[in-house]
């Protein structure tokens, strides 16, 4: 039977941090192609949060609680029930349940974590040559802004025989040659973090035209300035875990509902990996808050 003796791996995270990420997640506009004539501030103002707001709203905590699946125990309960039933019939039926925490797949730990998982789950371990890939964080401050495709339209530049596309991407995600050295000064604070990719023939055409090369240098100066401004703005308005705990402390019903859910869903991990639960700083603060509420009653 396929279900016999299976390994089950669950990825966990501090529940309060999960709520934070939901609130701060946001989405970017569908548009990715832009004209050099467009204002870079407006072009990069492309992130919207719940209810189409330009900033995260702490009041969406309740929506987060309805949307996020904290279903750790719910997911494994059917397997545990099957296992218990088979054990009563003296049949060999074993599910090995493993937990790893999100902090174990952060850039500084991900490579070693997957090496260990490879041994446990019998898949090919990552090679040393791939270590750099494991040290990158894909969901980062650039994710809503890049890739960004700059289009030079032939209708705006008569000497062009076709539209030219220039792609701005995260440096570690580039798939082509990076030619930013032609357009951005090395002292630019985003120089090492982004790549500017363009077809070789198109590049030669552009760098040999002094007028358009100067336009592009000015454009990318404005672009990186606008990009930095947007990144800084969103970091500033992000909701943090302490704000969520403060919000919950003023909303007793929400707090009690969340506690009821987590008491049920975390029962297995508390029993088998108490070290993971103990490492959740904000969940521990949440538990203390609930204890105070109980004492007040």
pLDDT tens digit string along 126-171? 999 989 888 888 889 999 999 999 999 998 888 888 999 999 999 9
Q: Are 66 and 107 contained in the same domain? A: yes
Average predicted confidence (pLDDT) for the chain: 90
Q: Are 122 and 192 contained in the same domain? A: no
pLDDT at position 148 is 94
Q: Is 95 exposed, middle or buried (0-12, 13-18, 19+ CB in 10 A)?
A: middle
pLDDT at position 51 is 84
**What whole-number percentage of the chain has pLDDT above 70?**
93
Average pLDDT over residues 201-207: 93
User: What CA–CA distance (Å, rounded) separates 54 from 26?
Assistant: 9
Domain that holds residue 231: 148-237
Kindly state whether residue 1 falls inside one of the protein's structural domains: no
User: What CA–CA distance (Å, rounded) separates 58 from 32?
Assistant: 29
Q: Are 18 and 91 contained in the same domain? A: yes
Query: Which of 237, 255, 283 is the last residue before a domain boundary?
Result: 237
Q: Are 21 and 126 contained in the same domain? A: yes
The residue among 4 and 297 whose pLDDT is bigger is 297
Q: Are 245 and 233 contained in the same domain? A: no
Kindly state whether residue 85 falls inside one of the protein's structural domains: yes
Kindly state whether residue 37 falls inside one of the protein's structural domains: no
pLDDT at position 89 is 57
Q: Which of 205, 197, 219 is nearest to 161 (CA)?
A: 205
Residues 61, 239 contacting (CB under 8 angstroms): no
Query: Which of 237, 261, 283 is the last residue before a domain boundary?
Result: 237
User: What CA–CA distance (Å, rounded) separates 73 from 267?
Assistant: 7
Residues 195, 169 contacting (CB under 8 angstroms): yes
Q: Are 117 and 255 contained in the same domain? A: yes
């Amino acid at each position: 039977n396929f279900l016999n003796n299976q390994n089950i791996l669950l990825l966990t995270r501090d529940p309060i941090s999960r709520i934070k990420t939901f609130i701060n997640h946001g989405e970017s506009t569908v548009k990715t192609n832009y004209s050099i004539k467009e204002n870079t501030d407006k072009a990069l103002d492309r992130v919207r949060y719940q209810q189409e707001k330009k900033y995260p709203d702490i009041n969406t905590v309740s929506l987060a609680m309805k949307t996020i699946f904290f279903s750790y125990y719910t997911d494994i309960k059917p397997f545990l029930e099957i296992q218990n039933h088979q054990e009563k019939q003296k049949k060999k039926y074993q599910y090995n349940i493993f937990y790893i925490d999100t902090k174990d797949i952060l850039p500084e730990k991900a490579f070693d974590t997957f090496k260990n998982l490879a041994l446990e789950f019998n898949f090919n371990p990552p090679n040393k040559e791939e270590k750099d890939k494991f040290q990158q964080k894909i969901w980062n401050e650039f994710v809503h802004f890049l890739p960004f495709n700059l289009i030079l339209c032939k209708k705006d530049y008569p000497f062009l025989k076709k539209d030219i596309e220039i792609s701005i991407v995260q440096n570690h995600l580039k798939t082509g040659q990076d030619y930013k050295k032609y357009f951005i000064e090395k002292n630019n604070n985003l120089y090492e973090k982004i790549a500017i990719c363009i077809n070789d023939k198109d590049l030669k055409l552009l760098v040999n035209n002094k007028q358009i090369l100067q336009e592009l240098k000015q454009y990318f100066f404005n672009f990186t300035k606008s990009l930095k401004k947007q990144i800084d703005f969103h970091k500033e308005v992000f909701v943090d875990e302490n704000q969520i705990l403060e919000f919950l402390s003023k909303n007793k019903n929400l707090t009690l509902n969340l506690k009821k859910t987590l008491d049920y869903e975390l029962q297995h991990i508390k029993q088998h990996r108490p070290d993971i639960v103990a490492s959740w700083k904000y969940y521990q603060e949440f538990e203390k808050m609930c204890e105070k509420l109980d004492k007040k009653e």
